[in-house]
Every structure is written in C-alpha cells, then in structure tokens.
Structure 1
Amino acid sequence: MKIGRYPLHHGGVGAIRSLGRVGVPVYAVTEDRGTPAALSRHLRGRFVWPTTGAEPPEQLLDGLTRIATRIAEREGRPAVALPTDDEAAILLAEHAERLDGVLTAPTVPPELPRALAGKQSLHQLCSTHRVPSPGSRLPRSLDELELATKELTFPLVAKNADAFHRLSLPAVGSSTVLDDPAALERLAGHWGDTLPRVLLQEYIPAADSEDWICHLYCGSDPDGAADLVFTGVKVRAWPARGGVTAYAYSVANPELAELSSRFCRAIGYRGICDLDWRLDRRDGRHKLLDFNPRLGAQFRLFQTDRGIDLARSLHLDLTARHDRLGEAGYGTPVDGRAFTVEILDLPARAAARAGHRSAELPADPRWAPPRHPSAHELAWTSADDPLPALAAAVRSVPSALHVLRRALRRSRPT
C-alpha cells in the first residue's frame, strides 16, 4: 500500500512479484486499473483507490479499513500490511489500534515513523544517539532562512522536511542541490511570503564521498533472531545529485550494518526500513542522510542465498513462519548482485558521462563494483511478468520527452 499518486513505482511491483512467486496471495492498492503494479500476473487482487495525501486521516483510515476487511473476508485471516511509502507507514503506526484485527503489521512506537521520515526530527534522533549526520537547519521564517544561509556552507541540499507535506505542500519536487545563495534565492522566489517546511542540509562534495544504502528488517523477536540486514553501494541516481537509485550493487559492509542495526535497536524500530548513508572521506564517517520507515524501492537488489528478501522476511516473521526455516534462518546475504531501474538509468548514465555524479565509487578494493554480477535484477523487465514493464514504458514517455526538451533547450547556443 502507498498514499499519493506515483504509478511508476517499481518497489511495489517488486514486492508483488517476490511474494507472489512463492505462493503468497498478494493484493495491491493502485491509482487506476492501468497502473503497472495492477497488471502483474502475480497479483491476486487490486483495489483502485486514488489518494493524494491531502485527505484527512479519518478518510484514509476508512478506505484502508474497508479494503483490509474485504481481504480478510476473502482469505479468512488478516492481511500483512506492506507499506511502500512513508505516508502509509506513518498511517499504520499512528492508528495501529484502529487497524488491529484487520491488518497485521510490526509493533512500532506510534510516533516513530513520522519522526524518522521527518528530516529535521531524524537529525535530532541522530544527535541523541550519536549517529553521524550532516548539519542541517529547518528555518521557520524568511528571516531564519536568511540567517541559515549565513551559518551554513554552500553547497546545500533542500529537502521537504516532512512526510505528507511533500504531497500536499511540497517545497521542492525532490532533493535539490543548491550551489550558492543565488540558487536558494531563485528557489525561494517560488514560495511567496509563506515559507514551506524545507530542510537545508550540508552537502558532502561528490569528490569526497561515497553513497551507501542499508536495508533492514527488524523483527518481532527481542533477541534479533528474525532480523535481516543488507548493505550496498549506490552507483547512479536520477536526478543525478540526490535522486532515486538507478543502478546499485550489493556488498557486505559490516561496520555500516552494525551502525544501522544499533541505531534501529536504540530507537525501538520494528519492521522494514531503507537507510541512505554517505561516507564522508574527509573524516571517514558514514553519515545518515535519510531513514525511510518502509520498503525501499530498490529492495530487490538484496537477497540471501536462500532467496529471502525483505518482503519475504517480514511475511515469514509476521505469519510466525520464521522458526520453520531451521538453524540457517534467512540465510546469508549475497554479495555482488546488481540492480538497474531501466527507465531511470538511461538519463543517469548520460549525466554520469557528462561529469554529473553525486558521489565516487568506493576506494577500498574490498567494496569495488563486481565485474560479473552474481545476479542482475531489473526493476521492470521480467520474462514471467511482462505487462508491468510495458505499461511503465508507455507511462514514462511524457516525462522522458520533457527531460529531452529541457536538455535540447540547454544545448542551444545563446
């Protein structure tokens, strides 16, 4: 489930395929009948329920309860909830009592997902638990915005500070790098007299950094027996500086895995999460950029030698099947896998060739990119499930043409 309108969501398609292939009956909330996820052959049922994120919580809860009740009546048991965006994760956590009995979800402190998805509140949690993170400011007025530009060093990254606000009152379309005060002034010109909830964050220079990701399932067992941790390197993103992962590979980084697990335990987090880290080569520390309290879109990059990924681990744990796996448990994370989002990696490659990268590849040979990936997962293309890729290709044409037009305009001589 997700809230808001973004039909080109490969993470949801990945979850449907992963669970459907092992016989789990999967249902999805979709924007319309032609959404790529709605066309997967591994889907047992879909519920067309277009939302914007601007609805009152009560309205969202009523819709979700109706859907969950229909699934429970059809299957004879409550469904396991798998949020694929921050807003859905927040809704599930903050209203767990209302949904108890019709949906099964990890038990998490009600206020925690909102605090983790919020950029400034995440920074405060990092400070409390001594987890490195970039310096940031959340200006509450135009005067504070002007003061922040004097106290922080450019370049800066502008981010929407809160979940839900990014759908209803976005400050920026996505994370935006501001090279100088003039870039911030141009951006602020679109905001008018009312300052949106925008976070200004220190930007670690590309030449001095590496982009890392850590995906975890923090299980219901207090001793961590049902936990699963993966680490990998983000090679390309779109947009090039601070966008969605377009190409990545898996590699074991025990230090980062332990840092991520320790932070999750300290704050009492349960469930799936997707953490974006940046290694600052200037001081040798991994700094936490984002904590997504839900399934990451690129989660299919990671799986164990027993074929377990995060969607399957959550389902095994919450349906009390984890103990049936035996002593080997989920198995061992597989290094050297690769993951490509086809419709994003084409422009990301072009940007990289033009010198636009968000970070460098790891300098340590232990973490070098695999020459021959042990497996290469494509976000959309699948021989046993072709329709989502076809629908995604059709729906991506308008945005691709828009990007092409912008590139052509920039290349024209003045």
Structure 2
Amino acid sequence: MSVPAPRPRPAVRPVVLGADIGAYATARTFHETFGAASVVLAGVSTWQVARSVAVDLRVVPGLTDPDRMVRAIADVVAEAPDVPHLLLASADWYVDALVARREELTGLPGEVVVPYAHTEAMARVSDKGAFTSLCRELDVPVPATAVIRAADGPDAAASLRFPVVVKAASTTAYHKVTFPGQRKVDRAADRAELAQVLARIDGGGFTGDLLVQEEVPGGDATMAAVNLFFGADGSWRFAQFGRVLLEEHTPGALGNSVAQVTGVDDVVVEQARRVLEHVGWRGFANVDVKRDPRDGVHRFLEVNPRVGRSGYAVTASGYDVARMYVDAFVHRTGAAGGVVGTNEHLFHVVPLGLVRRYVDDDDAALVRRLARSGAATNPLLYRAERDPRRWAAIAAAQLNQVRKFARHHPGRKQPGSYGR
C-alpha cells in the first residue's frame, strides 16, 4: 500500500488585523498569489471580509486591547506552528500594537514575522508633527505647519494664513477618543472657525498634539501618493507613484482615495524614498502628497505605515505585494536593486460611472480608455468569490457610494487642477 506524499508546506499564512477594504485587498493579494486564505482578526464582522474565499474570518471582541490581540494571534499560530505566519494590519493603531509587542509575538512557538520598522523609525513618520519636522530637515516640501494642543486656542497658530486644515498628529491617539462632530480632518476658513474646531476637539477630550496646516489649494485631482516597499534588511525594493482622481467626502472618511491612477513622477518618488531610507524603514509605506497648483510642487502630508486599500493598486498594476513580503521577510532573499513601477493602471473602489461623473473631462476620458483596455481594477470584484450573499453586499455597498457622493461631494464636476 503506497503512502501518500506529504503535503507541501505553505509558503506563508497571512494574519491580517482589521476588517475594512484594505484588509480584504491584502487577503485577496495573498489568495491570488499563493492560494492562501488569510486569517483576518476583526472586532466585528463586516461585509468587506465576510463570506470570502480569501478570508478565514475570526471575530475577536476587544481586539484593540493589545493583550487580547496577542492572545488571539497566539491562538492562530498554535493551529499551524510549522507554517510561517506574517502579521499585517489595515489600521495604524494595529500597526502600533504589533510593533510595540514585536518581541513577544516573534517569541511565540513557530515562525512569526512582524514586517514593520522599529519603534524609533515608526515614531518619526507616524506622528504627523515629527514627520513634518523630518521633511524640513531633509529639504522635502511640506505645508506651513503649527503643532499645537486644542486647549491652546487659535492664537497658537497665528503665524499661519487661512484657510487651514486641522488633524491629529497621531491617528492612533485620536482613535482612542470619540465625541460628537469628530472628523478625520477639519477645515477652518478663518480664526473664528478655527476657535470653534479647537473648542470641539478640546471638549471631546482629546489632549494630544494637533497639526494646523495652511491648506494647499486644489481638488481631489491634486492629491497623490507614493507606495514604497523595503526589505527586512532596510534595502529599498519598490516604489510607485499614483495620482488620485477621486476621494471620499464623508466626514469620517474624508481624504480616503476611491480612484487612483498609477504612473510616474521621479522627483516625488525620490523624495519619498529618501525620507524613509533616512529613518531605516522596513516593509510597506504609503506617503500622501498634494500638488500645489500655484508652483507645481508636491507637498508631503503624512505617511501611512502599512498597506492601505490603495496598496492594491501596486498588485493590480503588475507588481505583486504578496510576493514582495514573502521574498523579503519569509525567504529573506536578496534584492538585485529597487524597482520603480511605471505601469499605468486605474485602481477604484467605487463604480466607474461614478468616477467619471465627478472628475474633469480629461480624467473621464482617461478612465474610459483604461477601462476599455482592461487596465482598471476594483479589488472587491474578485472573480474567485462564489457566495451570492457576498456579491449582494458588494452591490449594495456600491449603490451606497452613489448615494454618499450625491450627498457629500461639493459638486458634480470639479475643474481639473492637476497640471499635465
């Protein structure tokens, strides 16, 4: 009687913290490349990660508690201790928790990989105030900025010209408080409005640093991002520029990209790479910038220290993020040198008709051209999915996007402010 051949050891078992589109897009990437269903740990079940062939969903109440997070990860690793486990996060606060508990996590029985930068590097870029100072140190353009506390009042930002934008220096710290009228980003047209914004934040109990920045003019199409990847040894391996076409405008999600075209901008890519190399970065990063139409200069705004939902644009355009992680952090293979992505591809998480409706005529034509050539991808529309309930949830969510834009977007058409 023949003995069955042993099953090959899986290349990796991804463990993703979070339950948003970014978590799903990451899971899809690993499923496409390795056939692996990522273990997704989430505080609640959401339609984005439920009923998916790419996701092994585990609902863990209280997951934002670091101790509970470590226990949940330990339980997952114990199920398959002979398989490499790659720990990823779809939100900044989960990244911070993984980095803070790295020693404990990598000490679990089995192979556990935390593919993020060390604590000092993370602090220098994740805190928006520290990041702004770092950019100034390296002569990388940033908006005029004042770092203040809400209790300081508007006089603490008296050196700035209005309008200004206001946001927490630490996304993680801001996530820990909840109050009426809380927004990801606030805008103030004058001193009186700034006083109202600061009073609301102060009254909500947030005592951390705030960034007050002179607003860089321009609509959604002046925004852009650079996705970068560094190996476990700090070697730069990949970078790609992406120009935003359309962003969300709901108060809680203001600024999240919903349509982006990958392309080329050597100057911005070099600046982003220089900043992250300076601090000794590891893993993935997404750097947000905005092109100032007054002088054509991209001003650096912040770093997301993780693969966000728009990180799937890298994979969709032909550069496999899952393979990058496994090669650099699991197999520890060397890199022959960094690659700059040049393929043009449209990433979107809303219907293409909606994108065309809210962009200028030139970008609407670009959307049509890329869609017709097959160079457009919505990560939610994964053909491997089979559950009709999941497809129904996606259809409802896409319809809801149409309603949200009709309610919150400032206008049906915006003049193109991105010079080409």
TM range (shorter): 0.7 to 0.9
**Pairwise mapping of residues 291-370 of structure 1 onto structure 2 (< 5 A)?**
291-303=303-315, 307-320=318-331, 322=333, 333-342=341-350
**Pairwise mapping of residues 152-171 of structure 1 onto structure 2 (< 5 A)?**
152-169=160-177
Deviation at 1:304, TM superposition (A): 8.0
Residue equivalent to 2:393: 391
Deviation at 1:294, TM superposition (A): 0.7
Cα deviation per residue 1:166-217 (whole Å; 9 max; x = unaligned)?
A: 2222584222332233432343343455564332112111179822210011
How many Å separate the matches in 1 of 2:93 and 2:129? 17
Deviation at 1:349, TM superposition (A): 6.3
How many Å separate the matches in 2 of 1:196 and 1:348? 38
Change (3 A) 1:212 1:149: same
The aligned amino acid for 2:125 is: L
How many Å separate the matches in 1 of 2:369 and 2:355? 20
Larger deviation: 279-288 or 250-259? 279-288
Deviation at 1:69, TM superposition (A): 4.2
Residue equivalent to 1:380: 380
Secondary structure at 2:89 match in 1: coil
The aligned amino acid for 1:150 is: A
* Partner residue of 1:131 out of 125, 129, 140: 140
Deviation at 1:162, TM superposition (A): 1.0
Residue equivalent to 2:241: 231
Change (3 A) 1:161 1:256: same
Residue equivalent to 1:212: 224
Residue equivalent to 2:7: none
Cα deviation per residue 1:79-104 (whole Å; 9 max; x = unaligned)?
A: 11112111111112222111113320
Q: Is the 8 A contact 1:237 1:246 kept in 2?
A: yes
Q: Is the 8 A contact 1:280 1:287 kept in 2?
A: yes
Residue equivalent to 2:98: 92
* Partner residue of 1:80 out of 78, 81, 86: 86
TM-score by length of 2: 0.77
Residue equivalent to 1:22: 33
Deviation at 1:22, TM superposition (A): 2.1
Residue equivalent to 2:270: 258
How many Å separate the matches in 2 of 1:337 and 1:141? 41
In the alignment, structure 1 residue 40 sits paired with structure 2 residue 52: yes
The aligned amino acid for 1:111 is: E
TM-score by length of 1: 0.78
Secondary structure at 2:153 match in 1: helix
Deviation at 1:136, TM superposition (A): 1.6
How many Å separate the matches in 2 of 1:369 and 1:141? 42
Deviation at 1:123, TM superposition (A): 1.2
Cα deviation per residue 1:1-27 (whole Å; 9 max; x = unaligned)?
A: 6767xx4x2111111111012225321
Secondary structure at 1:15 match in 2: helix
How many Å separate the matches in 1 of 2:234 and 2:408? 52
Change (3 A) 1:208 1:39: closer
Secondary structure at 1:120 match in 2: helix
The aligned amino acid for 2:106 is: D
Secondary structure at 2:244 match in 1: strand
Change (3 A) 1:127 1:385: same
Deviation at 1:253, TM superposition (A): 1.5
Deviation at 1:134, TM superposition (A): 1.2
Deviation at 1:338, TM superposition (A): 0.2
Deviation at 1:259, TM superposition (A): 1.3
In the alignment, structure 1 residue 177 sits paired with structure 2 residue 173: no
Secondary structure at 1:298 match in 2: helix
How many Å separate the matches in 1 of 2:401 and 2:303? 27
How many Å separate the matches in 2 of 1:92 and 1:135? 32
Deviation at 1:149, TM superposition (A): 4.3
Residue equivalent to 1:13: 24
How many Å separate the matches in 2 of 1:254 and 1:370? 26
Cα deviation per residue 1:56-84 (whole Å; 9 max; x = unaligned)?
A: xxxx2343344244334325234111121
Q: Is the 8 A contact 1:240 1:348 kept in 2?
A: no
Q: Is the 8 A contact 1:217 1:270 kept in 2?
A: yes
How many Å separate the matches in 2 of 1:313 and 1:201? 35
In the alignment, structure 1 residue 271 sits paired with structure 2 residue 279: no
**Pairwise mapping of residues 103-114 of structure 1 onto structure 2 (< 5 A)?**
103-106=112-115, 108-114=117-123
The aligned amino acid for 2:57 is: R
Q: Is the 8 A contact 2:245 2:359 kept in 1?
A: no
How many Å separate the matches in 1 of 2:148 and 2:303? 21
Unaligned runs of 5+ in 2: 1-14, 410-420
How many Å separate the matches in 1 of 2:381 and 2:234? 38
Change (3 A) 1:330 1:284: closer
How many Å separate the matches in 2 of 1:150 and 1:269? 35
The aligned amino acid for 1:104 is: V
Larger deviation: 396-405 or 150-159? 396-405
